[in-house]
Amino acid sequence: MEPQAAPRSGGITDQFRLEGRVALVTGASTGIGAGLAQAFAEAGADVTLAARTEADLERVAESIRSLGRQALVVPTDIRDLEAIERMVSRTVETYGRLDIMLNAAGVQRRKPILEATADDWHYVMDVNARGAFFTAQAAARAMVPQQAGKIIHIASMTSFRGFSDIALYGFSKAGIVQTTKAMAVEWASYNIQVNAIAPGWITTPMTITMNQARKDWVNAHKPQGHFGVPADLAGAAVYLASPASNFVTGQTFAVDGGFTAGHPWPSLDDE
């Protein structure tokens, strides 16, 4: 028997609403995770916020509650597989369901490949790759009985291109693209859509530590000429979390100010 398409109702604008849905966001204390948790709440979802720093999570939770939505704070280190299970269980126990899972937790160590250590490897991979994989697995187990769900990974420009000194991050984010495809194929029969967003350079606590020369290079090589902010990803995230994307799965969407489209040439006046 062929899987049936999820039903839609209302007009096109209604398809982007998230009322009655529950979202779980990792890395929700700052940066992209915090911004997209807020976006889900603005679209109508109740949200579980997970990260390691409870005080920062509570700050985001208060902002979400001010919108009239519920916010559950679950301090979680996704390197701990038992903590992942508790995070998902608490979400389902509190809200009765889990509809949207956003994997935004991520870490970075800037170091040349020749200087990278096993500790560097495990630090980056245990969060960005292993943690994302098992968080999605736990979320999908909660979604299978519902026969519906949306899982969104955060990939990167480093998923597609090599950059010096951040190879470990790139390895982890390249894996996210393939993980997205494999999960999409395996879970399609359960009506679970799995997609990824590949942000360009976004102003977050991770990117503000870049030196000015690299920031200048980034701005010179993207058509829109500047860093983005987490809110620039909100439209794509809400789309992928909503019924509007019910026939979209296994895709990675670049939201990058045009970086992957090409690089601006110098002005003709300079020739």
Residues with a known catalytic role: 169
Q: Tell me the three state secondary structure of residue 196.
A: strand
C-alpha distance across the termini of the chain, in Å: 64
Q: Are 32 and 104 in contact (CB under 8 A)?
A: yes
